[in-house]
Structure 1
Amino acid sequence: MAEEQSIVSGVAGRYATALFDLALESGTLDAVDADLSRFSALIAESADFERLVRSPVFAAEDQLRAVTAVLDKAGIGGLVGNFVKVATSNRRLFVVPAMIADFRKLLARHRGEVTAEVTSAEPLSDTHIAALKDALKAQIGKDVTLIPQVDPALIGGLIVKIGSRMIDTSLRTKLNSLKIAMKEVG
């Protein structure tokens, strides 16, 4: 437990740790992970749903009704359904994406994996994800779980964060470096 607490903290970490402990005790880690992935996908697929999740302007009752309907339609129940509903009732729905990320960190640590956050300008293909996992595994010596994110402002390239290390090969960063170098010359 002390090891788990060192990789997550704050409100999101407390919720994620509670969910992880419940899933571990009930032997449902994989099912919970799958349901959390589906919930994350629902947020990513709908701008309206993302706005509902992230915006504090909606009343808790309205958020709870809407989230319950989405969970029911998606077939997400059990621990994850209850987890999201409790977070919503406690006015913490906006923190759920961070809670999911913290849960994944705990799960990766439990499995002996390393978590890498990968930001790209466009969604990565399965082939690129597999190649990146293999390259990172060769470098680190452990299995790597990727948490992909998309930021079109990168223009191209990747930003990979593993723990406190960051590798930034984005075109945006290279162009900014070039701009600074040109100012120093001129």
Structure 2
Amino acid sequence: MAARFVPRVFQQATRGYASQAAAVRPPILLNGLPGKYASSAYVAALTKSDKTLQAVERDLQAVAHALSSGKDAQKLQTFIANPTLSNKDKVSGLEQLIGSKSDEVTRNLFSVLAENGRLQDSERVVEEFARLMAAHRGEVEVIITSATPLDKAHTQRLESALSESAVAKEGGGQKIKFTHKVNPAIQGGLTVDFAGKSVDLSVASKVRKLNQLLEEGI
């Protein structure tokens, strides 16, 4: 279904840019449908101009805010989770979600998500687009997940240590962008994800390994 997005966006957003479009490629390869939608939007925007790419990024950041902490967040979450909406309801909901001043590429993206019944993937698409933009800027995203929020002192020490570690070398000396997440399920400790790799230092992981050892010893 993602394939339907590519021709529509290119027809509407890249008309007259055919020679440029052939040279535009996503900075990294993303898997899954959300990644394909995000990559198509990235290519369509950058084919027009870097200014358009930045506009689409701002649009999607606004969407992320609207879905997570905006005043109508619950209403919008219900909207994107409902696959049985009429066309009229979809149009009304999309206007509220992306705003009337959003870029044409942004509007095309969410229109096709709605047509294909994939609005529930909106947050993932936004996250994948953010990954593309980080790569576009030469950033290496390091995701630090803890069971509870880290205080400022711990955060600074951890980021400083990671910046001087193999994580920085893995990114080829590029700028490191730290993202902090909270997941109580890890119970304690940390997980660190970067450059397609993951280091699991969580309590939950240690408990699983202990259980495996006990089972092997029986």
The offset of 1:183, in angstroms, is 4.7
Q: Match for residue 97 of structure 2?
A: 70
Q: Match for residue 155 of structure 1?
A: 187
The offset of 1:60, in angstroms, is 5.4
For 1:30 and 1:144, the matched residues in 2 are separated by 20
Kindly indicate whether residue 115 of structure 2 is the aligned counterpart of residue 89 of structure 1: yes
Q: Match for residue 14 of structure 1?
A: 36
For 2:164 and 2:191, the matched residues in 1 are separated by 18
Structure 1 unmatched ranges of 5 or more: none
Q: CA RMSD in A?
A: 3.3
Greater helix proportion: 1
For 2:142 and 2:155, the matched residues in 1 are separated by 11
Paired residues of 1:137 and 1:143 also in contact (CA < 8 A): no
For 1:82 and 1:123, the matched residues in 2 are separated by 37
Paired residues of 1:160 and 1:166 also in contact (CA < 8 A): yes
Q: Which has the larger radius of gyration?
A: 2
Identity %: 26
Paired residues of 2:62 and 2:98 also in contact (CA < 8 A): no
Q: Match for residue 27 of structure 1?
A: 50
Structure 2 unmatched ranges of 5 or more: 1-22
For 2:43 and 2:25, the matched residues in 1 are separated by 13
The offset of 1:47, in angstroms, is 4.8
Aligned residues: 183
For 2:59 and 2:79, the matched residues in 1 are separated by 19
- Counterpart amino acid of residue 26 in structure 1: S
Q: Match for residue 127 of structure 2?
A: 101
Q: Could you give the per-residue CA deviations for residues 80-132 of structure 1, whole angstroms, max 9, x where no partner exists?
A: 34432332233221222232232222222221122334433345567766655
Q: 2:176 aligns with which of 126, 138, 144?
A: 144
Q: TM-score, normalised by structure 2?
A: 0.64
Shift of the 65–13 alpha-carbon distance from structure 1 to 2, 3 Å rule, reads same
For 1:110 and 1:169, the matched residues in 2 are separated by 30
Q: TM-score, normalised by structure 1?
A: 0.73
Give the match's secondary structure for 2:164: helix
- Counterpart amino acid of residue 104 in structure 1: A
For 2:150 and 2:107, the matched residues in 1 are separated by 29
For 1:26 and 1:112, the matched residues in 2 are separated by 18
For 1:118 and 1:76, the matched residues in 2 are separated by 34
For 2:157 and 2:112, the matched residues in 1 are separated by 38
